Each structure stands twice: as structure tokens, then as C-alpha cells.
Amino acid sequence: MSRPPQEIIDRIVDEFHGSFADLKALSLVARPWLHRTRYHLFRSLTLAPRDLQAIRDNYTDAKRRASLKLIVDPDDYLTSGEEQLIRSPLAENPQPTHYFLSSIAHALHHVRGVRLVSHVRLGGRAVPMMEYFHDWLGFGGDEYALHCRVRYISSSDEDFRERQKALWGAIDLPWGRGAGLHALPFKNLRFILIQWSVFGWTPPPDRGLVGLANLGHSPGYQLAKLFESNADALDHVFIDEYPGFQLNHYNSTSNGDTLLEVLAQNAPNLQSLSLRGLRQPFYAHFHTPQPEGYENYVLADRPRYPSGEEIPHVMSDDNFLLERTTKPSLERLHIQGFGPESTLLIEDAIFNRSVLSMENLSHLALCVMPEDYDYMFMFSKVRGSLTHLTLDLRPFASPPKLKFCFFPKLKCLQLIIYSVTAGAEVVLHNVVESLSDNLYCLDSSTSMPVVQAVKQLHISVEPDIYTPLAVSYLNAVAIDELLENLVCGCSDLPETMGRSRVDEVTVEWPQRILAEMLPLTYQTGHLKEGKLNDWWYKPAYLL
């Protein structure tokens, strides 16, 4: 029997792109099948520090408990992480990550996405970096050293220091000891996600030294080299926990934040950028006191080195910036987790200083800003290209002064609700009401006035919000009547002009809850269950 054409083989393999088990089986059929299966099997990797000894110990303990479960205590259960650990063929004797990367060197060119996270893998669970530094190793000060896990198994201070040093030196770092993220052997990455605290695993730069050798430890240098080595393919960057874009940085000798310059100069084909800062939302439950105003937000711990020193942002005195004649043309931009001042600094760098080209921006996500924020000025440069707009409705913000008829190509508007506290309903009410301002626009082909319609309005309510509370909240702001008006249109307008301003409304809840929560809109048939399109988190080619 002759071998089928390679195109047919590729089509068959592609049908199983979501099943690793099937892909592994298909890779064994014949050599022509191997290349295409590797394309899917190695499309994405997550790299994180690992405590190899803890993984071995957890594996042994989980396996022992699993074998005795039916005999000793039938109610003793394993976590999903422990069950996955037992099934892993590599858990009993885990190898350092750089050995793993070496073993798949022939397939590294297939890796299109990599996530670099700082949580320490212990086997069945992951521990945040600072918790590991403090509670496990005792770094960060005497108060941590007195109560850490190493102290429990040490008989003397000398023994404690030796064990502490040994455990620290035994941590498996994907980029190797004494190196940085730029030592990773990738050359064709399209997507990179970096938690800023991951830099805490590399030594901080010595402030007393000057030169490129010392710069090798700075986050800015590592970023520049990592981006540069993947410059031809890299099109999507996600940076989480970023501590930069603070006003005090701009008042110091470092003269501001140059993260965007590093991206512009070392990722010329960048199309999608997501920046997430340290400010985290307060998740309001029905049984928790409801804080007001700015207290709805808590600041996450700043990323730190084991010594307790803060990991710096990308500073302009890192003399590794090079001049480029072309600017990356962003198509998607996501800004979340920053305070208003930081968001303004990012806006200034992107729109006013033109660090990145925004002429083709189609997707934009950002937080609602405080009162008197000039949205029209910011959006004036992207109004003609924007098709997707996501607004993160922060309860401490004022209702945005935004007219959606300003965007002639807008097709999708997403509203994210993180809290149902006092004041938040005003923001939601006014944003939805402002859709009614999408009145007349001229049809380019006929020059006749028509009612401009947004194809989809999505309201995403944080799942942690207690459902009956959110139902009463949405009912309280009379959102149902507004939505019904948007999908049914204006009866006083000629039918030839079109009447509907929103074609479809989706909410991230089951249909039965939608029928109870928004009965008027539900009866129109234009209200449906739907999920948030979080395009900023992971590109489609990695799904």
C-alpha cells in the first residue's frame, strides 16, 4: 500500500490537535506522521522553578497513600494534582529542565509559546516564590528564618545555614544557574508570557559594578536579549506583575520606564501586547463587608529577590537600547491592574511619544478611568480602526464620558464587572445607556443616514460574585430596560434606517439565570449565554 500524500496525513493529525494521547499514538505510525504531531505536541511549554527533592518525596507519599487508600482509610483522598503526579512517568525521578530542553532540541523549533512563571513546582502543587523564600527557606529576614520549614529539621544554626544553602542550590531553574531568561534556547517563539517575579530567581545586579557583565542580571537586559533572539517570529507578549510606570520612577535619576522601548527595539513584528500590573481586584462575596471607593483594591506584593529587595522595572539607564527605524504595529493592546496614574503614563508613551505604532489597532482593553479623563483624545488616533473594546468597570471610577458612535467600525463591546459595591452600578448603567448615543451615521455606499449597531454587547460578571446578589444588583440599576431598548431599537425611526443599536447581548451565566435576571431582554430572543473573549491572554494559534 502506498503512503498517503503528506497533505492528507497533516489533515488527519490536525483533527486530533487537542488530544495529547492521540497525538502521541499517531507519532508512532510512521516517520511522515512524526513531524506534524510534534508541531502540535510542542506548540506550548510552561517553565517554572522546581524543587526536585520535594517532587520525589511528594510522589512517594502520594503513591503510598494511593496503595493504602482502600485498606486503611477509604475516605482519604488524593488531590487532582497528586493524582496527576502519580500518573506522570517522570515524577519518580524528575530530571533538571535543561536536560529536558536538550532532549527535545530537535523539536524546539516547533515551540511557538512559552510561559515563564515563578511558582515553585513541588509535585502536586505550586508554591508562590515569596512563600517559598520565606516559609520554606527562611530568606528575607530573621522573622522568616525563625519559623521556616528548614528550621524544623535543623538542630543548630550551623546546620540550618547548610541546609538552607543546599536547598537553595538544588532548585531546578529552567534557564540554569547563574544565567538569565535570555539563556533559554528558543529561536522561533511567537508568544511569551512572563511573570515579573520570575526575575527573583536570578541574582540582582550589583549596584557597585558598571558594565555589560553586571547588566546581564537586570530584567531589562534579559528581556531585550530574549526578545531579540526571537525577533523574527515574536508577535504576542504578555507581562504580568509589572511594577513599573509609577510616578516616583519618573522623578528619579532613572528617568522613567523604558519597557515599551525595549519591546519596540527588539520585537519588530509585535502585534499583541498585554501589560498587567500589581493592582488586583477585590472579589466581593455576599458574606464579606463591602468596602467603598479606592479600598476596593489591594496592592499585590511587589516582586522581590530573596534578600527582600524589590525587583526593578525596566530603567532607561540600562545602556543596551538600540535604535530602530521601524516601529511594531500593534493590533491588540490590553492594560489591566494599573492605577490611573500608571495607565496615563502608558497612554502617554504609546499615543503621545509614539513608541509603538497604533494605526492598525483593532482590539483594546483597559480599565475605566476616573472623572474628567479625556477618552476622546486617547481614542482619536484609533477610532477609525477599533473593532473590539473591553472596559474593566472599576467601582471607584466615574462613569466614562464616552460616545460609542465615535467608533465607526466597533463590532464588539465587553464590560467586565468585578464588584457589585455601591457606585459600581452607576458606571455600568451609564456605559450601557451611552450605547443609545449610537444614532445616525452615513452609509459609505449610499450616503444615507443609518443607525449604527454594535454586533455584540457582552457583560462578564466575575464568577466569585454571589449570584443572587448580582441578580438583584443588575435589577436595581434597571439594566433590563436599557438592554431591551438597545436590541429592539427605536420605534420612532423609519424601518429603512435600521432601529437596533445592539444585535446581540451575551452574559456569562446560564440561560435560566438570564431569564430571571433580565426577563424583558430575554423575551426578545437577543439575550444569550456567552463567555468573555479574553483575546489578550493567549493567541488562537496556541489553543
CA dist list (Å): 310 to 196, 200, 331: 11, 9, 33
Model confidence over 395-404: pLDDT tens digits?
555 666 677 7
Q: Which domain holds residue 9?
A: 1-41
Question: Number of structural domains, the chain?
Answer: 3
Same domain, 264 and 411: no
Does residue 106 form part of some domain?
no
Same domain, 334 and 374: no
Q: Which of 312, 335, 354 is the last residue of a domain?
A: 354
Does residue 293 form part of some domain?
yes
Q: Are 376 and 406 in contact (CB under 8 A)?
A: yes
Same domain, 346 and 255: yes
Same domain, 316 and 401: no
Q: Which of 354, 375, 404 is the last residue of a domain?
A: 354
Same domain, 241 and 370: no
Torsion of CA 240, 175, 84, 72, to 10 degrees: -110
Does residue 268 form part of some domain?
yes
Q: Which of 285, 320, 354 is the last residue of a domain?
A: 354
Nearest to residue 331, comparing CAs of 307, 304, 297, 365? 365
Does residue 446 form part of some domain?
yes
Model confidence over 172-205: pLDDT tens digits?
999 888 788 988 999 899 999 999 999 998 877 6
Same domain, 307 and 433: no
Does residue 165 form part of some domain?
no
Length of the chain: 543
Does residue 8 form part of some domain?
yes
CA dist list (Å): 395 to 235, 290, 399, 400, 412: 33, 11, 9, 12, 22
Helical ranges in 380-451 per DSSP H: 424-434
Same domain, 379 and 345: no
Instruction: Give the pTM.
Output: 0.86
Model confidence over 320-364: pLDDT tens digits?
555 556 789 999 999 988 888 888 888 888 887 788 888 899 999
Same domain, 388 and 486: yes
Q: Are 196 and 303 in contact (CB under 8 A)?
A: yes
Does residue 97 form part of some domain?
no
Same domain, 345 and 434: no
Same domain, 326 and 388: no
Does residue 113 form part of some domain?
no
Same domain, 350 and 366: no
Per-residue confidence (pLDDT) for residue 298, from 0 to 100: 52
Helix axes 219-229 and 259-266, enclosed angle (nearest 10): 20
Going from the first residue of the chain to its last (543 residues), give the mean pLDDT of each consecutive group of 10, the final group possibly shorter: 76 79 80 81 90 85 74 64 78 82 86 94 85 89 86 83 88 86 91 95 63 63 93 95 86 75 92 88 40 47 86 72 71 90 85 85 87 74 89 69 76 82 67 66 58 81 65 71 80 48 86 85 91 90 81
Same domain, 256 and 381: no
